[in-house]
Amino acid sequence: MKIGLIGGGTVAKFLSKSINTDCQLPGCTVASVLLRRADAAGEWERRFGIQAFTDIQSFLSSGIELVVEAATVEAVRDCAELVLSAGKDLVIISVGALADGKLYGRLNELCRRLGTRIHLPSGAIGGLDVIHSAMALGQLDEVSLTTRKPAASLVGHQVSEKEVVFDGTAAEAISRFPKNINVAIVLSLAGLGCDETRVKIVADPEATKNTHSIEAVGSFGKMNIQLENEPMPDNPRTSYLAALSVLSTLKKQTECISIG
């Protein structure tokens, strides 16, 4: 399977190294990358053997079969419909774009009409399989997410003790903290939706990592799961688990037996 990447940041480089250099996904190759800056093309070709483009139509015509968006919400808005219209499946990392109900609807309709698919990695959280299973017959009653982050990343100044900076619905959290709460979006999409998923965001001066606690109640029983995420070694702003979840999503596309 030939893979194309949109974006040249930390996750894109992690995937390129894992797939092309370390051969973690036999039978798969990152063949092309879409970049904003032409002067960055040389590094990708030398380091990973990947052909770089700045024009999306040339990128989509480069023989790739699946595209991974590893850029920004804006990139999803600009490129997702073009990717699907070209008959390519799409992995979306910047799931914040799907908080826009109109965009979500257009992408869903394109997939239905063209037979393409969108894959959303689980990102920095777990338990989505339970949430999704409970929703199979609509038998999920409550879902909540409590995210604890280093205070400086949320409030921009020093605080002496834990401070709840937000307590409300996922829809409200997404509008107020668009760069900090992508996990709330994928949790909402898997479960009750943005208006029925509760979110609490805590700024903690003693925290050095992001911690996500998910609780769910339904006919299946109760779930309580907590993850304390390690950052990427070369970029503390990116969760290592989030990058691994993208690699796992790609691996599932090549497996004959699928779990979950």
Residue 259 domain-assigned (yes or no): no
Specify whether 62 is located in the same domain as 8. Answer: yes
Specify whether 77 is located in the same domain as 138. Answer: no
Give pLDDT tens digits for 212-234.
Answer: 999 999 999 999 999 999 999 88
pLDDT of residue 153: 77
Specify whether 137 is located in the same domain as 89. Answer: no
Task: Tell me the mean pLDDT in the region 23-37.
Answer: 96
Question: The domain spanning residue 207 has which CATH number?
Answer: 3.30.360.10
* Burial (CB count <10 Å: 0-12, 13-18, 19+), residue 195: exposed
Give pLDDT tens digits for 137-162.
Answer: 888 999 999 999 988 777 766 678 89
Question: The domain spanning residue 57 has which CATH number?
Answer: 3.40.50.720
Residue in the structure block whose two tokens are 């479960």: 191
Reduced to 3 states, what is the DSSP secondary structure of residue 76? Answer: helix
Catalytic residues: 212
Q: CA-to-CA distance for 65 and 86, rounded, in angstroms?
A: 10
pLDDT of residue 157: 64
Residue 234 domain-assigned (yes or no): no
Give pLDDT tens digits for 168-199.
Answer: 999 899 888 877 778 999 999 999 999 999 99
Spatial contact of 106 and 82, defined as CB atoms under 8 Å apart: no
- Give 1's pLDDT tier (boundaries 50, 70, 90): very high
Nearest to 127 by CA among 247, 216, 258: 216
Total number of domains constituting the chain = 2
Specify whether 112 is located in the same domain as 6. Answer: yes
Specify whether 108 is located in the same domain as 206. Answer: no
Reduced to 3 states, what is the DSSP secondary structure of residue 119? Answer: strand
Give pLDDT tens digits for 156-167.
Answer: 666 788 999 999
pLDDT of residue 236: 81
Nearest to 15 by CA among 92, 70, 63, 52: 70
Neighbours of 19 (CB within 10 A): 23
Q: CA-to-CA distance for 127 and 173, rounded, in angstroms?
A: 20
- Give 10's pLDDT tier (boundaries 50, 70, 90): very high
Paired tokens of 190: 């898997």
Give pLDDT tens digits for 82-94.
Answer: 999 999 999 999 9
- Domain of residue 159: give its range: 128-229
Specify whether 12 is located in the same domain as 83. Answer: yes
Specify whether 83 is located in the same domain as 165. Answer: no
Residue 181 domain-assigned (yes or no): yes
Specify whether 139 is located in the same domain as 111. Answer: no
CA–CA distance from 46 to each of 58, 67, 106, 202, 232 (Å)?
20, 21, 38, 43, 23
Nearest to 34 by CA among 23, 46, 26, 3: 3
Specify whether 102 is located in the same domain as 14. Answer: yes
Give pLDDT tens digits for 95-122.
Answer: 989 989 999 999 999 999 999 999 999 9
Specify whether 102 is located in the same domain as 182. Answer: no
Specify whether 6 is located in the same domain as 111. Answer: yes
Residues 6+ apart with CB under 8 A from 90: 66, 67, 68, 69, 80, 83, 84, 116, 117, 118, 119
